Amino acid sequence: MNYPHPIIAREGWPFLGIAVAVALVVHFMAGVLWAAPFWVIALFVLQFFRDPPRQVPQQAGAVLSPADGRIVAIETTQDPYAGREALKISVFMNVFNVHSNRAPVDGTVTKVEYFPGRFFNADLDKASLENERNALVIDVGGQIVTSVQVAGLIARRILCYVKAGDTLSRGQRYGFIRFGSRVDVYLPLGSRPRVTIGEKVSATSTILAEL
């Protein structure tokens, strides 16, 4: 679901409004020193829910990062959502990263599956299969790309705005995860990684791999 970028993600407007309102009330009733911690909280909420526009690479076969963060896994493993062996690339997001999720490829969503689960640190490998998660299986001209939103240690809400049958454009905003998490991308075997473990990546503007 596309929408004009408001710089601040729409998911954050209620949180930001409450944080600023509390800070203002304390500021006017008790003074700036008492209000300072509440202004710090408001600034944290503001930075967490920022949602900047990004340039979309147009290279054929490019798989874009669906999230800001750090690469924590590049491995051949089983894709449990599409029932195949695949190359998995995982992006870990901390609380200071942008948390809107963007489509990694152009394609048609063939399946959306939500799984309730636990809330281990999203930096751990077991988070991929044991944490709360939401998987999109995307058909890219006959090739399959799976993008999985995974909740983290303090993440408690996965938001996804697409359904089976929807057509996605690379870089299109399709979801959001609140507060610290990861995204796993499963690619066809033979895909060529363009990132390395520990590398910092940016949603949409970083190419993870080539199909």
Active site residues: 181
Residue 105 near residue 63 (C-beta atoms within 8 A)? yes
What is the per-residue burial (b if ≥16 Cβ within 10 Å, else e) of 152-165? bbebeebbbebeee
Neighbours of 170 (CB within 10 A): 19
Which of 176, 177, 174, 113 minimizes the C-alpha distance to 151?
A: 177
Tokens of 168: 């996605």
- Tell me the C-alpha distance between 101 and 89, whole Å: 15
Which residues have C-beta within 8 Å of that of residue 170, sequence separation ≥ 6?
A: 56, 57, 62, 64, 102, 103, 104, 105, 106, 204
Helical spans, DSSP H, in 49-160 = 127-130
Residue 104, beta-bridge partner list: none
Coil, helix or strand at residue 37:
helix
CA-to-CA distance for 99 and 49, rounded, in angstroms?
Answer: 7
